[in-house]
Amino acid sequence: MIRIAVTGAAGRMGKFLIEAIQHNPNLKLTAALERPDSSLLGSDAGELAGIGKNGVKISGDLRAVLDAFDVLIDFSVPAATLDNLRACASAQKKMVIGTTGFNPEQQQALQKMMQGIAVCKASNYSTGVNVCFKLLEMAAQVLGGEDYDIEIYEAHHRHKIDAPSGTALSMGEVVAKTLGRDLKSCAVYGREGQTGARDRNTIGFATVRGGDVVGDHTVSFMADGERIEITHKASSRMAFARGAVRAAAWLHHQKAGLYDMQDVLSLKENRLK
């Protein structure tokens, strides 16, 4: 039985993670974390998630429960994730990271702290989205970038704090890498005013925020006479939770290193020839 800890256990994603763990016969929730100032500390994590009492009390101190789990699943905010990773690295605990929105300085700190332990970090843990990553690689490889304009559209709920989404950026990185481009230099984030004719070497991003949209992503390859679109729409956070739980089960058996959901699903082994 693999012992799992979840951060943000009383939040929307945390509740889905706890439910997904409950449905996996090889995993057991043994620790649940919330902010130290949360009014829910001491509450039963299972009861909060709507699956009935499971005896796991919400804690506000990760370091106090380091001996209680094998893998930590963290979908929180960059600063908290960095602190949690620091604790896990010191205790040689494995970690699944679903947090997005790291700035360059935080990314550097993240890379440094991930040395020596097994970490799975992905912008999106949905199995469907990760299949889309593979489809995008294939599309970019076959279509090329000379005849097709590439645009990425994403929509999320009003509460999302980073833009474009980590998933949209990952989609852009997959396409740019396949085409031999640097996303940092070819990305265009929104357009306004007299922008002139479109530069075909750019990859455009459009961001929408509103309502309770869980996550919509579309990548369009547009040429004269045709348009190819690869779309993923999430209707429930359970899609992300199931993938993260799958990643945790897989990560438990891996040696130290940095992995992503493509590794979990063995998609890196299936290259287009």
Q: What is the CATH number of the domain that holds 87?
A: 3.40.50.720
Is the same domain home to 138 and 154?
A: yes
How far apart CA 155 and CA 265 sit, in angstroms, is 25
Taking residues 30-51, what's their average pLDDT? 95
Question: Could you tell me the pLDDT band of residue 257, with boundaries at 50, 70 and 90?
Answer: very high
Is the same domain home to 230 and 245?
A: no
Is the same domain home to 166 and 112?
A: no
Residue 272 has pLDDT above 60, yes or no: no
Taking residues 47-66, what's their average pLDDT? 95
Supply the range of the domain harboring residue 185.
Answer: 127-234
* 3-class SS string, the chain: CEEEEECCCCCHHHHHHHHHHHCCCCEEEEEEECCCCCCCCCCEHHHHCCCCCCCCEEECCHHHHHHHCCEEEECCCHHHHHHHHHHHHHHCCEEEECCCCCCHHHHHHHHHHCCCCEEEECCCCCHHHHHHHHHHHHHHHHHCCCCCEEEEEEEECCCCCCCCCHHHHHHHHHHHHHCCCCHHHHEEECCCCCCCCCCCCCEEEEEEECCCCCEEEEEEEEECCEEEEEEEEECCCHHHHHHHHHHHHHHCCCCCEEECHHHHCCHHHCCCC
More confident residue, 8 or 269: 8
Is the same domain home to 49 and 96?
A: yes
Annotation says 160 is catalytic: yes
Summarised one tens digit per residue, pLDDT across range 229-244 is 999 999 999 999 999 9
Summarised one tens digit per residue, pLDDT across range 195-241 is 999 999 999 999 999 999 999 999 999 999 999 999 999 999 999 99
Residues 6+ apart with CB under 8 A from 64: none
Q: What is the CATH number of the domain that holds 189?
A: 3.30.360.10
Summarised one tens digit per residue, pLDDT across range 94-104 is 999 999 889 99
pLDDT at 269: 64
Residues 6+ apart with CB under 8 A from 219: 132, 136, 139, 150, 151, 152, 153, 171, 175, 229, 230, 231
Is the same domain home to 114 and 9?
A: yes
How many structural domains does the chain have? Answer: 2
More confident residue, 43 or 190: 43
Is the same domain home to 86 and 34?
A: yes
pLDDT at 270: 53
pLDDT at 207: 97
Is the same domain home to 103 and 136?
A: no
pLDDT at 56: 96
Q: Which of 156, 157, 177, 252 is catalytic?
A: 156
Annotation says 53 is catalytic: no
Is the same domain home to 212 and 107?
A: no
Q: Which of 28, 57, 134, 160 is catalytic?
A: 160
Is the same domain home to 6 and 37?
A: yes
- Which residue bears the tokens 């082994």? 269
Taking residues 29-51, what's their average pLDDT? 95
Is the same domain home to 224 and 171?
A: yes
Is the same domain home to 161 and 141?
A: yes
Is the same domain home to 16 and 51?
A: yes
